[in-house]
Amino acid sequence: MPRKGRKLLKRKSEGVKKESKGVWIVESDREDENKSVASSNQDSGAEDLLTQEFPNSEDSSDDEVQENDNPEASDEEQDEVLFDSDIESEELSFESDSSASEDQPEESEASETPPKPAKASLPLPKICPTPRKSFNTSKTPEISITSSKLPPEEYEYDSSDEEDIRNTVGNIPMKWYDDYSHIGYNLDGKKLVKPEKGDLLDNFLKRMEDPDFWRSVKDPATGQVVILSEEDINLITRIQKQKIPDPQFDDYAPWVEYFTSEVMKTPLRKFPEHKKSFLPSKNEARQVSKLVHALKMGWIKSSEELKKERADKNKQPQFYMLWQSDDQAEEMRRIHRHIPAPKRHLPGHAESYNPPPEYLFDTKELKQWNKLKMTPWKRKLHFVPQKFNTLREVPAYPKYIKERFQRCLDLYLCPRALKMKLTIEPEELVPQLPSPRDLQPFPTTMSMVYKGHTDMVRSISTQGRGQYFASGGDDMHLRIWEVSTGRCVKVIPCGGIIRCVAWCPNEAVSLIAVAADKKVLLINPGVGDHLVTSKTDKLMGIIPESDVIVSERVKSAVQWEQPNDELWGTGVRIVINHFNIVKQITWHPKGDYFATVMPDGQNRSVLISQLSKRRSQLPFSRPKGLVQCVLFHPVRPIFFVATQRHIRVYDLKKAGDGEEIVVWLPVDIDNGNTPSW
């Protein structure tokens, strides 16, 4: 082997590694490992690999490799060539123009080795991450290839929050999964089982033993405990201290003049400045000359002279008049901001020597006035009015000196203050109504329309369970609707304008009270539970017997009738005829009593009827005002009656006792006219 090749292999066997980012290094391993792995097939394979990697190379070492093509002649020494890279990937591609490498000059003696080319462009092939293979060569040049930096891949620095999300349920409240054993679904559609939750004892042990407990938070999306990093802690701390989250942001950076930092070559306006703008103003010159002349004549004093005069004036003693005259009042007001004393009220009719009789005290008023002797400031008058026939009969006032003394005390002892007048704008008196957005929740979207009525709808009533509701109006038909679907279940003709519809609150009975003109119809709608419907029909078919004698006053106001077969087929079970138009019907919470209101009925405007006994009664003999509405209390035995101006409350248990019922204002309390039944 030539001497040059031996020295080259000797340097390679030292195993010197150059650590630098982006540098490819070819090095040899120990000679003993090379000798154990040496074979002729590996020599030929190594030569083929080097021939593919370095095509068209003019290096002298390549010539030596070509001369020793014979594998038998190259079995003296063997080298193992390894390609080490800092970047390991499945497939790396390098372009020749962007990854131009430079060959490091070989270190050899100048006398034996001729100079070599300094640079060579070597196109690198794609390298797959395969296990390291060793191959032998008799002469392998030391190669150091510097590769250009690859641009970072997109998915290595992508900061999207949705790249690595295990739970795919989206941005929804996680409390929806409180009743389930899972917390969501992964990318494969499988359920994410909730992690085990410890009790209070486990939480206490973690608090005592875990040093990272204070920085641990629970991820609501996955239920896992996440430990905050130092960067997260610093970010939270800066936000709590109301600082800028980014610590590298300089909030005291020098101001950049965005509009005046650059000097423009041409002006913004298309015409230059006028010549007058460069000449002194003649008007200003005249004003300055006038000021100079006034200073010379002494008409205007300089600031120094004014300051000197003020100092001399403050040194002199100042005296003020205790009793000033009228011409000095303005000056005193300017100096002291004088506030005049309030004047006494003018005497009224009660202070006259011959006052009218209504101003004189009677025995009760005189006794009340004497009772307030210890608190005289509570009296309306500080004296007792007296009556004299003539003025000369009026004696001397004994409290005159005392009142004058009190007046003088008020003048110099009582503090005075200016009373500011209220300037109220008319707009301020109008109440400020809140924005409709602040009044939510209220109906904003129409969900369903129930169509079927041909005229105005006056009243609706809902079933106790909320499955159906009834409606009636000027089309004289009662319609039963299903709430969820909007389907009209049944239509019942009533023969009059329906002004009120009331569903019986007792769920054991299926009845609807309908006020149609002067009649009240008790109708079985035939919807809902069939057992309740059939039971209601049997109950309404039985006419109870009663020995109670009904008064003529009640008979003339209301009559109970059993419907004929035609009305029974439509669902009407009882007909109650009234002497006037019925405006309102309200049920008792137990469902046995109901009250009807006839505003034009005068003293018979309110009727209370009992369904089980089929009788009615008039609770009021003389109601105060025109009754508009009545209502039963849902829990207590209380009956409310609303007139045009007042609301009266009656206790049904204390009927006729006349005891006062305490309610909040502005409700008017009526102690009398309680129900007499």
pLDDT tens track for 434-491: 887 777 777 778 888 999 999 999 999 999 888 999 999 999 999 999 999 999 999 9
Distance of CA 427 to the CA centre of its chain: 29
Could you write out the DSSP letters of every residue in 300-359? S--HHHHHHHHHHHHHS-----SS--GGGHHHHHHHH---PPPPPPPP-GGGSSS--GGG
Q: Taking the model in full, what pTM does it have? A: 0.38
Q: Where are the domains of the chain?
A: 3-146, 174-240, 338-432, 457-542+555-618
Do 604 and 613 touch, CB atoms closer than 8 A?
Answer: no
What pLDDT does 349 receive?
92
What pLDDT does 327 receive?
60
Q: How high is the mean pLDDT in each 10-residue block of the chain (677 residues)?
A: 45 42 39 43 43 43 42 41 40 39 39 40 38 40 40 46 66 88 88 87 91 89 88 93 90 83 78 85 94 91 89 78 61 66 88 93 93 91 92 92 91 84 82 80 82 93 92 94 92 93 92 93 90 90 78 87 89 92 93 92 89 88 84 91 89 59 40 40
Q: Find the distance separating the first CA and the last CA of the chain, reported in whole Å.
A: 138
Q: Which of 115, 126, 123 minimizes the C-alpha distance to 91?
A: 126
Q: Is the dihedral of CA 6, 8, 10, 13 positive or negative?
A: negative
- Which DSSP category does 501 fall into? E
Q: Count the Cβ atoms, other than its own, within 10 Å of residue 135.
A: 23
- β partners of residue 191: 185
What pLDDT does 335 receive?
58
Q: What are 263's two structure tokens?
A: 């000097």
The span from the CA of 521 to the CA of 563, in Å, is 10
- Right CATH for 457-542+555-618 from 3.40.50.180, 1.10.940.10, 2.130.10.10, 3.20.20.140: 2.130.10.10
Q: What are 615's two structure tokens?
A: 């009788």
Do 608 and 593 touch, CB atoms closer than 8 A?
Answer: yes
Q: Count the Cβ atoms, other than its own, within 10 Å of residue 354.
A: 13
Q: Which helix (H) or strand (E) holds 34?
A: helix 31-37
